[in-house]
Structure 1
């Protein structure tokens, strides 16, 4: 059966790209999101992929750019639907939030087809997501430095919790944050419609990062193999899981000197970072409140009082 997404239309065994029209720009011209349909030669599940719902998070787009040319529909069972750039307006100006309505797109789901710019885009992409059996919403830690992880956002009491946890494990980048997310996230809204959904957070950088992109490419193919889109088997590997975060701000202004690297274990009471003057004099040393793993840090060393420095993943286990 032919599958259509916006202007893209692919019969079984075909690939097509096109645009999903979602509104007009300020000069009255229509605009559309770039989309792709990979229609396998045999019927099966549907996977939905999207990227750049935050306009400066480009690693997910890098994943899609590398994954699509490797997909041969003759070897695929099922269908893959892709929206390559969700936050059209923010992407154009390399900003995080949609500048038309100053909205973070991943707080607008399930959207409103008669609402603001972000709500209309969310509604259009949510409609695509609800056609799928599985959803990967590709993100990164904005411009912070961060571990490659997958976020399970539906909450432990959700009826699809185990399915979302399994999808995160199938993606298999090594780290999972298992913490209920804010309202308006796609990974919160789609499970309510019965669709397992996770957020791979592929590192953090300015521009994009080859290592994190390759982690994402491997993760997408892991999912395709595990859920039988591809014939090759994919065994699940144990993931390191954090069940919560502790965030640390700076008690002083100055320069941050980290005592730990990303992914290193942190013990309660152990120094995480210190703040120094421009002349290297120590102003204060900040220690860990709990045992955990250094998960995320700011990129630039200069901080003002109270400014974000780092996050430690806590309540660590593996599954």
Structure 2
């Protein structure tokens, strides 16, 4: 029998339940939705979580599509899933946990006696670090972004090569290989010996079907390559960036982008210009280095200094 919260599954079974993380403001129990898929044969454990940022819904869409496709009779090992991690934020369609105004993916490994986010992170971290592999499903919030996976442990970490191989196996096409901020699951779990990646499934308002499909395919790639399912996986070469440059608006107005997401850019290429409401160009921004046009804001209007776009730099293939 394998358990996660109130979900209990014997070999060959699937069960869903709730993982207790405290109470809401009216004293009602707060439990994260969880699922255990226990394979008929023995094997490793894969931990998956979604929506640690409450407005990043593509990961929830992946989980919703994935679980009905999993047959425990065909599975060797166990899949543990927390379908919505930042439940407080999810319920009000916000990025941060409104109870403590915290970005939950800066709270790992958490504290079972701490703030709301720290308690949620502690419960999820306990489940994650009991697994052999971890997939923390994200997206570029509600901005526009390419599909990528993020390796956040840093190039000098003893599990860096394992995390990078997991990212290649997921096969989004692009990898950001850069040490992440303190408190990210993909930064903290490798310190406990568990290879972990952060798939960033595009960026959307609501659910994007293409991003969801890429996420489901990525998980099946991992399940197959790591022996949970029979079969073979031959991932494509990945475009890897080890640098990441962000650009702000040099003037207020409306932004027009020159490249498309995923395009290669060279140093000096125009990234965007800013116009006034009558079409007069007020300012232009060019790339500081060669790279890949990675991410942009969704809405065109900007104030001076506001975030506009990002370029992945120091590009190679592996």
| Number of the residue aligned with 2:238 | 239
Number of aligned positions between the proteins: 318
Q: 1:88 offset after TM fit, Å?
A: 0.9
1:225 counterpart residue number = 224
Hey, what does 2:63 align to over in structure 1?
64
Structure 1 residues 229-273: Cα deviation after superposition (integer angstroms, max 9, x where no partner):
000111232100011111110100000000010001111111110
Within 2, Cα distance between the matches of 1:237 and 1:284? Answer: 39
State the distance in 2 between where 1:190 and 1:288 align.
34
Matches within 5 A, 1:2-81: 2-81=1-80
- Structure 2, unmatched stretches of 5+, are none
**2:11 partner SS:** coil
SS at match of 1:79: strand
TM-score calculated relative to the size of structure 2 = 0.99
Distance 2:141 2:260 in 1: 18
In structure 1, runs of 5+ residues without a counterpart are none
Q: Which residue of 2 aligns with 1:166?
A: 165
Question: 1:267 maps to what in 2?
Answer: 266
Q: TM-score, normalised by structure 1?
A: 0.99
Please state whether the residue corresponding to 2:123 is helix, strand or coil.
helix
Equivalent runs, 1:295-306 vs 2, <5 Å: 295-306=294-305
Q: Report the Cα distance in structure 2 between the residues aligned to 1:296 and 1:248, rounded to whole angstroms.
A: 10
How far does residue 284 in structure 1 lie from its aligned partner after superposition?
A: 1.2
1:61-84 deviations in Å (ceiling 9; x for gaps)? 000000000000000000000000
SS at match of 1:211: helix
Tell me, in whole angstroms, the C-alpha distance in 2 between the residues paired with 1:236 and 1:52: 26
Alignment of 1:120-159 (within 5 A): 120-159=119-158
Q: CA RMSD in A?
A: 0.5
Separation (CA, whole Å) in 2 of partners of 1:195 and 1:153? 13
Matches of 1:238 and 1:286 in 2, distance apart? 31
Moved over 3 A (4+): none
Partner of 2:89: 90
In structure 2, the residue corresponding to 1:35 is in which secondary structure?
A: strand
Q: CA deviation at 1:130?
A: 1.1
SS of 1:225's equivalent?
A: helix
Partners of 1:22 and 1:276 in 2: CA distance = 48
